[in-house]
Amino acid sequence: MDFTRRETLALGAGAAALTLLPAGAYAATVDELVNEFTGGADVADGGVNLDAPEIAENGNTVPISVSADGATAIMVLAAGNPTPPVATFNFGPLAGSSSASTRIRLAGTQDVIAVAKMADGSFARTSKEVKVTIGGCGG
Amino acid sequence: MISRRDFLQASMAASALLGASGFGNWSRLAAQQALTQDQLLEFDSFGNVSLIHITDIHAQLKPIYFREPEINLGVGPNKGEVPHITGADFRRLYGIEDGSPSHYALTYNDFSALARTYGKMGGMDRVATIVNAIRAERPEALLLDGGDTWHGSYTCYQTQGQDVVNVMNKLRPDAMTFHWEFTLGQERVHEIVDSLPFAALGQNIFDAMWDEPAERFKPYQFFERGGVNIAVIGQAFPYMPIANPGWMFPDYTFGIRDENMQAMVDEVRAQGAELVVCLSHNGFDVDKKMAAQVSGIDVILTGHTHDALPEPVLVGDTILIASGSNGKFVSRVDLDVRDGQMMGFRHKLIPVFSDVIDPDPEVAAAIDAERAPFESALTEVIGQTDSLLYRRGNFNGTWDDLICEALIEQRDAEIAMSPGVRWGPSLIPGQDITREDIWNVTSMTYGRAYRTEMTGEFLKVVMEDVADNLFNPDPYYQQGGDMVRMGGLGYRIDVTAPAGERISEMTFLETGEPIDPARSYVVAGWASVNEGTEGPQIWDVVEEHIRQKGTVKVEPNTSVEVAGV
C-alpha cells in the first residue's frame, strides 16, 4: 500500500478517475481498432501468444511479450487505457521470428489484447487480464 | 493393468489406512495423555526416497503457541475445499477426536484450555530431533525449506537473519526458496545466499532489468538419493514487490511464470530426472492451480498460506503437501520411485509437541548462543494479558485488535490499519507479554507506524483492493495474505461479489455514522511498502500501549459482517 500523503492523494485521484470510467466505455473503440486492423475479417481465438503478469509489479512499466508463428504483424491493445493502442509490430520476410517484447503502462486492472495478422491473411486474437493493485499484505 | 493414477489413488487409500498408525494414532493416543516421541515419529519406511519439508518458520527458533484460523474462506473453485475448512468441520473431515492433541494442533476451538494441556509447539531444536531421527533411518532423506525463514523475531531483526541462518545450517537443509527473506534488502540477501551450504532456488526469480533468470538463484537442483535422480525446482513467492516493499530489492522481479515452470520440468525430465519435486512459496490455492496447468511435477511442497493438512491433496498425478507454519509441523513424505516414475507415497504430518519431543542438545545450545546477547531485552515483561491473543483468520484477530487500539490511542488517530499477515504466534490468557512476544507479531524491516489522512472514498479503494487480493476467484490473482485489519471502522464484506463491490456499510465506530466518502480521516497504520515512511517503530508503539495498560483485555470483535460464505 502507498501511504505517504502525497502519493496517497495522487493514487486516490487516479483511482477516482478510473472509477469514473464506466465499464466498457472503450469497448467500441477496441472493437473499432481491431476492425480497422483486420479489415473486418473473422478473428480466431488463440494462435497468438501473449505473455503478461497476472498482477503487475508496477502498473507504470508492465513487461509483456507477444509471438505468433508466421505472423506478419501483431497489434497490442490495452483495453482499459485512455488510449488503448499500445503498438503494432510488423515482421518482414527477414525477421527471425514473429515475436516482440516491450513494457507498457496500464492505468488500472484491464485486459491486454493481442491480434496477429498471419501470412495467409487470417487473424488470431488472445487477451489476458492484468491486475494493477496498490498493494496487499503478504503472508 | 493398473494405471498410474489408479495406483496413486490406491496408495492414497493405503496411506490413509496407514495413517491410522501414523496421524490417526497420535491423535488417539494423545486423547489418552500417552503421547511419546516414538509415537510421534513412528513411520514405516516406504519406497526408496524420503522428503522432509518445513516451511514458514518466521524465525521462531523457540516453541510457541499458534492458534490456527477460525475463518479461512475459499472462493470460486476452492469454496469449501481444503485448506478452507476449519474447526469442527476440519476435525470431522480427518476423523480427529474432540479434545485430542490433533484438535489442539490443527484447529482453533478451545485453544486456551488445550494449550494448557498440551503445551507449546515447535522449536528448531525439536525439529532437529525429528530430522535426525528420519535421517538415522533414511540417511539420504532430503530436507527442504519452503522459505519465510529469516524473518519474524527480535533476534532475527537485530542480526539481520543471521541467528536463523546459523541455526538452520545445523539442520543441514538441501535446498530452500524465498519470500520475506528479501525484505532484508537485496545486498543482505546476496551476502547470506552466497554463504549458504545448500541450494537457493527459484525458477521465477528474475533480473528486473533484463527479465531473465537471476544468476544467483538457480531454477532447480539435482540430487541423487536412494538411487533416484531427483530434481527439486524452486518457486519463490510470486508477488513480493507488490505485497512487500519492492524498493528493498529493486533488481528482482518475480511472478508465477507457470510456462517457465513447465519448461523447467521438461528440461529436468530431459536430463533424466526420475522424480520432480517443486519447493514452492506460491500459497496453497495457487499451487493447486499450477499443478493442473503444469504437467510432470510429482510432488509440490506448498508454503506461504500457512496451512497444515494431515493428508496430501491430489491434483491429477501431483501430490500437494501442506506443512503448516512457525515450526509447528514437519512433513515426512516417503516415495516409491521406480523406472523413472513415482509409483506411490506415504505421508505423515508430524506435530512438533515441544514437551514430548526432546530438544536436540547441539541445536538447543546454538539457539541459546544466538539469544544470549539479547536475553535481557527479550525477556523483559511489558504487561500481562487476560485474553487469548492470536492473529490468524481472514478478517480479524485479537492481536491486531490490540495493535489497532495502540495505533489509535498512541498516535491520536481516528482509524487504524494493520496488515493481514499470517505470521505471529499466540498468547494464552494469564501469560506475561514480553518484549519478544510483541516483536514476534510486529518485527519487520519496514515497521514504521505512519500517520496520515485518507478520505472515506480512498479507504474503500484500499479495502476493496486488499479484498480482491484475498477473494479474487482466480487463485493466480491472489496474494495469499488475510484482509487488512481495521481499527475504528466497521464494514460488511460479500466475499463472492465482484472486485470493487465487496465492501459496504462502512461505519465510523467512534460515532456510529456511515463513513463519509468526502471526509478526511486521520489514519494510523504500519508496514507501508512506501520508501521513506516516517513514524515510530510499531513495536515501540505497541510496547508503550501495553505498558500503560498493564493488563490487556480484548473484547470480541463484532465490527466485520461477512456475507457470501
CATH number for the domain including A61?
2.60.40.2470
Question: Per the domain annotation, does A18 fall within a domain?
Answer: no
> What sections of B20-120 are H helices per DSSP?
23-31, 37-41, 87-94, 101-106, 111-118
Q: What are the C-alpha distances in Å from B492 to residues B413, B525, B532, B561?
A: 22, 21, 33, 4
Number of H helices, E strands in chain A: 2, 8
Question: Per the domain annotation, does A2 fall within a domain?
Answer: no
Question: Per the domain annotation, does A19 fall within a domain?
Answer: no
Identify the pLDDT of residue A135.
62
Confidence of residue B35 (pLDDT cuts 50, 70, 90): confident
Confidence of residue B506 (pLDDT cuts 50, 70, 90): very high
List chain A residues with CB under 8 Å of B240.
138
Note whether B530 contacts A: Cβ–Cβ < 8 A: yes
Q: Report yes or no: A123 and A135 within 8 Å, Cβ to Cβ.
A: no
List chain A residues with CB under 8 Å of B480.
138-139
* A133 closest CB neighbour out of B254, B423, B469: B469
- Contacts for A61 with CB less than 8 Å, ≥ 6 apart: A103, A104, A105
Q: Range of A42's domain?
A: 25-130
Among the residue ranges A13-17, B24-28, B137-141, the one predicted with the least confidence is A13-17
Q: Report yes or no: B134 and B332 within 8 Å, Cβ to Cβ.
A: yes
**Residue of higher predicted confidence among B395 and B14:** B395
B91 SS3 class = helix
H/E element, B471: helix B456-471
Tell me the average pLDDT across B523-527: 96
pLDDT digits (tens, 9 = 90+) for A51-88: 999 999 999 999 999 999 999 999 999 999 999 999 99
Q: Cell numbers 533411518 correspond to what residue?
A: B137
Q: Structurally, how many domains does chain A consist of?
A: 1
Q: What are the C-alpha distances in Å from B116 to residues B83, B120, B155, B356, B387?
A: 26, 8, 26, 14, 14
Note whether B461 contacts A: Cβ–Cβ < 8 A: yes
Question: Per the domain annotation, does A3 fall within a domain?
Answer: no
pLDDT digits (tens, 9 = 90+) for B197-237: 999 999 999 999 998 999 999 999 999 999 999 999 999 99
> What sections of A5-139 are H helices per DSSP?
5-20, 27-38
Q: Tell me whether residue A82 is exposed, middle or buried, using C-beta atoms within 10 angstroms of its C-beta: 0 to 12, 13 to 18, 19 or more.
A: exposed
Q: Which amino acid appears at position B296 of this protein?
A: G
Is B472's CB within 8 Å of A2's CB? no
Cα–Cα nearest to B323, from B337, B338, B313, B315: B313
Chain-centroid distance, C-alpha B258? 22
Q: Report yes or no: B64 and B439 within 8 Å, Cβ to Cβ.
A: no
Tell me A108's DSSP state: S
In chain A, the residue whose alpha carbon lies closest to the alpha carbon of B484 is: A137
Q: Tell me whether residue B215 is exposed, middle or buried, using C-beta atoms within 10 angstroms of its C-beta: 0 to 12, 13 to 18, 19 or more.
A: exposed
pTM of the model: 0.91
List chain A residues with CB under 8 Å of B457.
12, 16
Question: Per the domain annotation, does A1 fall within a domain?
Answer: no
Among the residue ranges B5-19, B366-380, B457-471, the one predicted with the least confidence is B5-19
Task: Give the max Cα distance, chain B.
Answer: 72
Say if strands A62-67 and A99-104 run parallel, antiparallel, or are unpaired: antiparallel
Cα–Cα nearest to A117, from A98, A94, A137, A97: A98
Question: Per the domain annotation, does A62 fall within a domain?
Answer: yes
- Contacts for B289 with CB less than 8 Å, ≥ 6 apart: B474, B475, B476
Is A15's CB within 8 Å of B476's CB? no
Report d(CA B466, CA B132) in Å as an integer.
42
Question: Per the domain annotation, does A42 fall within a domain?
Answer: yes
Q: Which amino acid appears at position B456 of this protein?
A: G
Tell me the average pLDDT across B456-473: 95
Among the residue ranges B189-193, B263-267, B479-483, the one predicted with the least confidence is B479-483
* B530 closest CB neighbour out of A7, A129, A139: A7
List chain A residues with CB under 8 Å of B237.
138
Confidence of residue A28 (pLDDT cuts 50, 70, 90): low
List chain B residues with CB under 8 Å of A57.
239, 241-242, 246, 253-255
Report d(CA B194, CA B178) in Å as an integer.
14
Chain A contact probe: residue of B457, B469, B470, B533 with most A CBs at under 10 A: B469
Q: What are the C-alpha distances in Å from B417 to residues A97, B26, B47, B454, B485?
A: 50, 40, 50, 12, 6
Question: Cell triple for residue B281?
Answer: 512459496
Report d(CA B312, CA B348) in Å as an integer.
9
pLDDT at B276 over 70: yes
pLDDT digits (tens, 9 = 90+) for B97-113: 999 999 999 999 999 99
Q: What are phi and psi of B559, to 5 degrees?
A: -95, 0
Is A1's CB within 8 Å of B528's CB? yes
Tell me the average pLDDT across B452-460: 96
pLDDT at B20 over 60: no
pLDDT at A15 over 70: no
Tell me the average pLDDT across B518-546: 96
* B420 closest CB neighbour out of A51, A133, A137: A137
> What sections of B19-171 are H helices per DSSP?
23-31, 37-41, 87-94, 101-106, 111-118, 124-137, 154-158, 162-171
| A110: closest CA of chain B, how far (Å) | 12
Is A139's CB within 8 Å of B255's CB? no
Report d(CA A58, CA A118) in Å as an integer.
32
Confidence of residue B498 (pLDDT cuts 50, 70, 90): very high
pLDDT at B68 over 50: yes
Tell me the average pLDDT across B438-443: 98
Tell me the average pLDDT across B294-314: 97
In chain B, the residue whose alpha carbon lies closest to the alpha carbon of A131 is: B477
Question: Per the domain annotation, does A94 fall within a domain?
Answer: yes
Query: Complex ipTM, two decimals?
Result: 0.84
Chain B residues 405-444 with CB within 8 Å of chain A: 419-423
- Strands (E) in B165-309, as ranges, are 175-176, 199-200, 206-207, 212-213, 220-225, 228-235, 252-253, 275-280, 299-302
Chain B contact probe: residue of A50, A62, A137 with most B CBs at under 10 A: A137
Q: Is the bond leading into B83 cis (omega within 30 degrees of zero)? A: yes
Cα–Cα nearest to B224, from B147, B337, B312: B337
β-sheet with B520-526: strand ranges across: B449-455, B520-526, B415-418, B485-487
> What are the residues of chain A with a beta carbon less than 8 Å away from any beta carbon of chain B?
1-5, 7-8, 11-12, 15-16, 19, 51, 53-55, 57-58, 63, 101, 109, 129, 131, 133-139
Identify the pLDDT of residue A137.
53
In chain A, the residue whose alpha carbon lies closest to the alpha carbon of B444 is: A138
Give me Rg for the CA atoms of chain B.
23
Tally C-beta pairs within 8 A across A and B. Answer: 124
Tell me the average pLDDT across B392-409: 97
Is B465's CB within 8 Å of A53's CB? no
Is A3's CB within 8 Å of B530's CB? yes
Average confidence score pLDDT of chain B: 93
Domains of chain B with CATH codes: 4-368 (3.60.21.10), 380-563 (3.90.780.10)
**Residue of higher predicted confidence among B278 and A133:** B278
Report d(CA A106, CA A61) in Å as an integer.
8
Report d(CA B490, CA B55) in Å as an integer.
34
pLDDT at B408 over 60: yes
DSSP β-bridge partners for residue B321: B301
Q: What are the C-alpha distances in Å from A64 to residues A29, B264, B298?
A: 22, 20, 30
